[in-house]
Amino acid sequence: MTKMAPVGLDRYRSIISEWDEFLAACDRPLPTDLRTNTLRIRPEDLRVRFAHCGIALEPFAWEPTFFRTAQPVGATLEHWAGLFYLQEITQSIPVAALDPQPGELVLDLCAAPGGKTTDIAARMQNRGRLVANEPNGRRQQALLANVNRVGTWNVAISEYRGQDFPLGGGFDRVLVDAPCSAEGTLRKESSLRNGASPSAIRRLARIQEMLVLRGFDLLRVGGRLVYSTCTFAPEENEAIVAHLLECRRARVVRLALPFPCASGLTSWNHLRYPEEVAGCARIYPHHLDSGGGFVARIERLA
């Protein structure tokens, strides 16, 4: 028998083809995933170290720095020493799409608590310059603690409102992992089981429009922007990308991910989005038995 969807999530029934699988995944406990901090240890060495403690780590074939485990690891010495970062596998996708390189100038515009910031720093091998921006003082403390714990030294922390970040940076790459209604985190946030309110979605979409434009304006010509959220709402995802395409000389670079996922929507509630928005990716909880999210990779044209 088909499960009944929570009221707020039922609005997505028409766009999620594997509806029953989606609902079943939403009802399951969230697995524990972790990312190896390659600044301090190799993935295989971390796996062996945990095996000696009787903790099994199962690797992801397409993302070798990530593991999944059935045992609690947050209170281990390895975590305290910064050998790994507890992070859902879905959260690796925006940084993989950004593909930061050693020696580049990179901006994480909405950085706290630091999971993606520290992933970027590791992929840059602590070489180049990475600006992690977070305007909220309390969240800054979490960001700073995580940056220090994993041993990054190419990170500078700034505290601007994202939409007011000073222009003229000429960044090679910018990540805008925007504040959102976070429906994709419903497996660990019971308050989101009925979806986000329409008023919250509208309010956040206005902020996201400003953030994505500012992030794009901070790129050098030919630079790469990744816009990502952890929500299902098209108003916060495809609509924001469409807004950027309308306002700036930008193009969507199609994402080809190494696992099943859904394409970006080109229509929603009688609205049409540019066809190239289909090159974005929607990740639902049943795709990776993880959280949900949206990822768009965008290039700044001359």
Domains and CATH numbers, the chain: 14-27+90-300 (3.40.50.150), 31-87 (3.30.70.1170)
Q: Which pLDDT does position 197 carry in this prediction?
A: 93
Whether the Cβ atoms of residue 96 and residue 39 lie closer than 8 Å to each other: no
What tens digit of pLDDT does each residue of 212-260 get? Answer: 999 999 999 999 999 999 999 999 999 999 999 999 999 999 999 999 9
- Place 190 in a pLDDT band, splitting at 50, 70 and 90: confident
**pLDDT at position 8:** 81
Place of tokens 């609690």: 72
Residues 249-273 pLDDT 10s: 999 999 999 999 999 999 999 999 9
Please check the confidence at residue 4 and state whether its pLDDT lies above 90.
Answer: no
Q: How confident is the model at residue 105 (pLDDT cuts 50, 70, 90)?
A: very high
pTM for the whole structure: 0.96
Edge-first strand order for the sheet with 32-36 is 58-60, 63-69, 32-36, 84-86
Structure confidence at residue 3 (pLDDT): 57
CB-based contact 154:132 (threshold 8 Å): no
Choosing from 26, 110, 230, 280, which is the catalytic residue? 230
The whole-number average pLDDT for the span 176-192 is 94
Tell me the pLDDT of the chain averaged across its residues.
95
> Which pLDDT band, with edges at 50, 70 and 90, does 1 fall under?
very low
- Indicate if the pLDDT at residue 117 is higher than 80: yes
Q: Does the annotation mark 230 as catalytic?
A: yes
pLDDT at residue 182 is higher than 50: yes
Cα dihedral across residues 188, 191, 195, 200: positive or negative: negative
pLDDT number for residue 274: 98
Calculate the alpha carbon distances from 166 to 3, 171, 174, 212, 243 in Å: 49, 12, 14, 14, 21
CA 199, 288, 226, 37 dihedral sign is positive
Residue percentage of the chain with pLDDT more than 90: 93
| Model confidence pLDDT, tens digit, residues 118-164 | 999 999 999 999 999 999 989 999 999 999 999 999 999 999 999 99
Indicate whether 169 pLDDT > 90: no
> Does 55 have pLDDT greater than 90?
yes
